[in-house]
Structure 1
Amino acid sequence: MHRRTTVLLLSTALTALPGPLALADGGGSSSGQVVLPGVPERLSAQQACTAFKGRATSDAPWTRRALGLDQVWTLSQGRGVTVAVVGTGVSDGPAVLAGRVDAVGDAGEDCVGRGTFQAGLVAGAATPGQGFSGVAPQARILAVRGTGVRGEPDPARLAAGVRAAAEHGAGVITVTAPLDGADKAVRAALAVAAAKDSLVVAPAAADSVPPATSGETPAKPAPAPPKGVLAVLDTGPQGTRPDTAPPYTRADLTAPGDALVGPGPVDGGKWTGSGSSLAAAVTAGTAALVRSYHPELKAAQVRERLLRTAYPADLPALDPYGAVAGAEAPAPDAAAARPDPVRPASPPDAASARNTALLVTAGAAGTALLVAFLAAALPRGRARGWRPGRLDPRGTQGEGGTA
């Protein structure tokens, strides 16, 4: 039922607003949609760096409507928040990122294009004639390398990237691959992030099944994410994942991550991509919206807010407007700071209370009888001049005088 609720919400969002909709390469040119190239995850040693400019499209991505971004942008666009993208690097070549990318070391160069795509999902600016925009178009990007130059997976470099991002002041950190909660280097990096008040958002699953396990051998699920990390799983326009999607161990939240549209590392063309790391980027952009609108919140409170305001489902589904505009939750230490209520020194004596009630009732009844008696006797006494009456021989009482 929860899954159907999420599908209904997303389907309603997709049909509620007018205008063209980009489903990336969900349709061919016969339907009037532009078929976009797929952004790579990594490059082989024989492949040259990504140099294709992508393709131009003025259509709005399906995520813009599904996430209600036009509505939430009236409240927050992420100004003043830096989001670190720990991955293949980020190029500021695309117009949507120009002038808003800082880099640690050589991470300002993106040979693959994946990190630039993620950064565009987080903070790509709206440009004239294009329907595309990142979730937080006024946030800044901090590029941090978390893979090899050609996108080779490197858990040690990924952990070091999280640490570097926190030390450079990123308020939100998103990474390109799942984090292993059992890895000591990861836990140490997350301790630094917690000390620096950085929220870490990570994919709950790999973006694709590794080639070595693409045959009959089932792919291993991604490792369980560390405590405190917001682990995000990807969903498509219908709010579901395909049965062949890479497996995961645990997730906290779902967000759009299938058939997304974003920039490549060169010029202003657009690409398409899918995977949980892209859903994590979308969520990181939402976290930037929250941190900009609620600068008083700590990273843990932002994480709690994203979960508390999400659409209810088997796994909660991200709701940017609810996260920004929703009611504030009590601070974690509010209950401890509140004084204890006043308590009686000893339990009340039920028997004593019952006896008191009976005495009061009896007294009230006696008073009522006395009032009735006086109401009858006083007029007679007044009529006799207050002389005592007597009984006549027949047994009736005289009204007054002598015998």
Structure 2
Amino acid sequence: MRSWLSAVATAGAAVTLAGVLAPGAALAGAPAPGALPGIPEKLPERSGCVQGSAVVVSQTPWQQVVLAPQRAWPLTRGDVPVAVVDTGVDAGSSWLGGRVEGAGKDCVGHGTFVAGLIAARRGSGGPFAGVAPDARIIDVPATDNTGESSPKRIAAAVTTAVGRGAKVIAVTLAQGRGGDLDRAVKAAAEADVLVVSAVTPADAEHGPVSCVPNVPGALCVGALGPDGRVAEPAEARTDLLAPGVSVVGIGPRGSGNFAGTGSSLSAAFVAGAAALLRAHEPKLTAVQAAARLRATAYRNAVGGAGGLDLYAALTTVGSGSSGQVVVAPPLPTYGPGKARGDGGAVRDALAVAAVFGGLVVAVGVGAVVVPRGNRRSWRPPA
């Protein structure tokens, strides 16, 4: 039954996206193209800090249409500590409502954007909100004022986040790989902390496509676009996929919205989902929570990864001690070839509707024909 209901819900999202993402159309939830300022990952040397945005979106951003976090909020709003290992988080942000623990400074703005995707509450009259609006953010900066970092610096931030009581850690920087970072992530998993990291693309600075070590309790996340197709990158290990293209969020110094793209933002959504799950089922270990998020994802043809399904993760029954989901119903398709926006899920939903329709007709006919037949002892009418 859960898979049928998800197919119907997915069809609704597909219709919405089809209506607003036709070729040449503007992104749902954003004003005219280019009206939202972009959030950078790094700043040029000697540049000033990112200034606040005065633009507030008036429509629901596409990522909220797809993820539908409001379906989860009657169950939980994610009241657990989530560490953000990034450029810092603006503690004065009205969207985060005083729920930032730490230094609370962010010149680049990227860490505040990530924190907003995880935990922002609706503000300034706009519909944007984070996935887990009651999550408490632990600000653990791992860059300088321009956004530059290193695997060793990120490793130290992960260790600090564990020591400060985080239940979930979002590592949303391009981190490369290194012995210190690998050891820090393994130690976090052993301490029952779920580490969510972005799959970072190959470049001259960070080397090949990479993510945190493949250990239980750690997830690598890639980006999906509004059409449900993988945006970046497909070459590395990817455990989950989530929205990461033209995402609407918040920034430092102001109450307006920004836009951003990248797998770092996809990791933020999964970190928010992990917060919801760990708040809803506090007895789940980090290993079990990671397994639940993977097992309840929409199927995707790329490397076995699937698209994040918030509601399914919260409502699927039970996890065994090994972290494997005990009851995992069939899942609707979401991804290349059968993306939410290309009608695959719509066809599934229509098929379900046709079956139900047929049953209703059959029951209705039976309710009329059977009693009449019994009264005539099934003799043909005179």
Common fold by TM > 0.5: yes
1:88 corresponds to:
87
Say which SS state the counterpart of residue 145 (structure 1) adopts. Answer: coil
2:113 corresponds to:
117
Question: Structure 1-normalised TM-score?
Answer: 0.70
- Shifted more, 187-196 versus 126-135: the winner is 187-196
The RMSD of aligned alpha carbons is 3.1
Distance 1:333 1:97 in 2: 32
Contact 1:148 1:154 in 2 (8 A): no
Counterpart among 264, 268, 278 of residue 251 in structure 2: 264
Task: State the shift of 1:72 in Å.
Answer: 1.2
2:40 corresponds to:
40
Counterpart among 190, 194, 200 of residue 189 in structure 2: 194
Instruction: Work out whether 1:222 is the aligned partner of 2:221.
Output: no
Structure 1 runs not aligned, ≥5 long:
1-5, 214-218, 335-403
Distance 1:262 1:112 in 2: 14
Counterpart among 160, 179, 198 of residue 184 in structure 1: 179
Task: State the shift of 1:112 in Å.
Answer: 0.2
1:331 corresponds to:
321
2:274 corresponds to:
287
Q: Output aligned runs, 1:1-400, within 5 Å.
A: 12-15=12-15, 27=26, 33=32, 35-79=35-79, 81-103=80-102, 106=103, 108-127=104-123, 129-180=125-176, 183-206=178-201, 221-228=208-215, 229-242=218-231, 245-246=232-233, 248-314=235-301, 315-332=305-322
Structure 2 runs not aligned, ≥5 long:
1-5, 325-382
**TM-superposition CA deviations, 1:100-155 (whole Å, max 9, x none):** 0001xx4x210000000000000001236211000000110001012222101322
Letter in 2 for 1:115: G
Contact 1:236 1:257 in 2 (8 A): yes
**TM-superposition CA deviations, 1:70-91 (whole Å, max 9, x none):** 2111211102x01100010000
Distance 1:224 1:115 in 2: 18
2:366 corresponds to:
none
Q: 1:8 to 1:186 in 2, by over 3 A?
A: farther
Letter in 1 for 2:223: D
Distance 1:254 1:122 in 2: 15
Identical amino acids, percent of aligned pairs: 38
Q: 1:59 to 1:188 in 2, by over 3 A?
A: same
1:339 corresponds to:
none
Distance 1:56 1:75 in 2: 28
Task: State the shift of 1:226 in Å.
Answer: 0.2
Say which SS state the counterpart of residue 82 (structure 2) adopts. Answer: strand
Say which SS state the counterpart of residue 60 (structure 1) adopts. Answer: coil
Letter in 2 for 1:232: V
Letter in 2 for 1:174: A
Q: 1:93 to 1:300 in 2, by over 3 A?
A: same
Q: 1:128 to 1:271 in 2, by over 3 A?
A: closer
Distance 1:143 1:39 in 2: 18
Q: 1:32 to 1:280 in 2, by over 3 A?
A: closer
Q: 1:116 to 1:258 in 2, by over 3 A?
A: same
Say which SS state the counterpart of residue 306 (structure 2) adopts. Answer: coil
Say which SS state the counterpart of residue 140 (structure 2) adopts. Answer: strand
Say which SS state the counterpart of residue 307 (structure 2) adopts. Answer: coil
**TM-superposition CA deviations, 1:253-279 (whole Å, max 9, x none):** 101111111111011000000100100
Contact 2:193 2:286 in 1 (8 A): yes
Letter in 2 for 1:331: S
Task: State the shift of 1:28 in Å.
Answer: 8.5
Say which SS state the counterpart of residue 261 (structure 1) adopts. Answer: strand
Distance 1:230 1:333 in 2: 14
Distance 1:292 1:137 in 2: 12
Distance 1:241 1:7 in 2: 20
Contact 2:246 2:261 in 1 (8 A): yes
